[in-house]
């Protein structure tokens, strides 16, 4: 997984994408990122996928594809859903029964957010930074936020939007997205 993180960092820098959150599971990855150009995330994922598959196949003496499908993505309304989505991502190892506490999982952004553990790929989102004026209070508030149980309906909504490529946000935000882009937002 260290190779994946390394190449994620290189690709994020190359394509000008900020990585705010992540969890690397054994069979999938969740990333919360902000691109600075329209095609940046697609290019990042393509570059990362090519490098990692080549590495993985060589290391494990195998051939062929590694990932089932093209990556799935969803636009996330920052003010309403970003921190919830971040919690969803970082709690993935807990929901999977791998750890009891998200701080025990090494391949996640949780320890950066909750304890200030340095992570080269991490760029804190402005909403995370706005939790408090100082680092200690911010980390404490974030730990408290993550300890609050995510509603089952919220988890289902995040999964649905991610799997279908739909916008995760309020109805007003989805309507604005549709008006601005002409693309379908979502119909939840």
* Mean pLDDT in residue range 155-173: 90
116 contact partners, CB below 8 Å, separation of at least 6? 135, 139
Q: Where are the alpha helices (DSSP H) in the chain?
A: 2-14, 40-59, 78-90, 92-95, 110-115, 126-129, 135-147, 152-164, 171-181
Q: What is the pLDDT of residue 67?
A: 67
Q: Which residue reads 């993985």 in tokens?
A: 56
9 contact partners, CB below 8 Å, separation of at least 6? 19, 120, 121
**Averaged pLDDT score across all residues of the chain:** 90
Q: Per the structure block, which two tokens stand in for 131?
A: 């939790």
Confidence of residue 25 (pLDDT cuts 50, 70, 90): very high
Phi, psi of 104 (to 5 degrees): -85, -5
Terminal-to-terminal C-alpha distance of the chain: 35
Q: What is the pLDDT of residue 63?
A: 79
Question: Please, what is the Cα angle at 162 between 106 and 99, to 5 degrees?
Answer: 25
Is the distance from CB of 93 to CB of 101 less than 8 angstroms? no
Confidence of residue 94 (pLDDT cuts 50, 70, 90): very high
102 contact partners, CB below 8 Å, separation of at least 6? 90, 91, 93, 94, 108, 110, 114, 146
- Convert the pLDDT of each residue in 46-82 to its tens digit: 998 888 777 777 777 877 776 666 688 888 988 879 9
Phi, psi of 122 (to 5 degrees): -80, 130
Does residue 187 have a pLDDT over 50? no
Q: Name the least confident of 63-67, 102-106, 144-148, 152-156.
A: 63-67
Q: What is the CATH number of domain 2-181?
A: 3.30.70.1290
Q: Locate the domains of the chain by residue range.
A: 2-181
Q: How many residues does the chain have?
A: 188
User: From CA 126, how far away is CA 101, in angstroms rounded?
Assistant: 25
Q: What is the pLDDT of residue 133?
A: 96
Does residue 106 have a pLDDT over 90? yes
């Amino acid at each position: 997984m260290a190779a994946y993180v390394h190449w994620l960092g290189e690709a994020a820098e190359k394509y000008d994408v900020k990585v705010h959150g992540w969890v690397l599971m054994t069979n999938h990855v969740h990333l919360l990122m902000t691109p600075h150009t329209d095609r940046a995330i697609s290019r990042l994922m393509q570059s990362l996928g090519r490098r990692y598959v080549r590495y993985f196949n060589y290391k494990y003496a195998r051939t062929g594809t590694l990932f089932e499908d093209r990556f799935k993505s969803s636009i996330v309304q920052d003010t309403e859903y970003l921190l919830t989505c971040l919690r969803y991502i970082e709690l993935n190892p807990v929901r999977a029964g791998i750890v009891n506490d998200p701080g025990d999982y090494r391949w996640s952004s949780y320890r950066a957010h909750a304890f200030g553990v340095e992570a080269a790929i991490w760029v804190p989102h402005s909403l995370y930074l706005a939790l408090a004026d100082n680092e200690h209070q911010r980390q404490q508030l974030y730990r408290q936020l993550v300890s609050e149980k995510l509603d089952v309906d919220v988890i289902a909504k995040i999964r649905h939007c991610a799997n279908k490529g739909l916008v995760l946000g309020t109805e007003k935000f989805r309507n604005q997205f549709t008006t601005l882009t002409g693309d379908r937002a979502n119909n939840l």
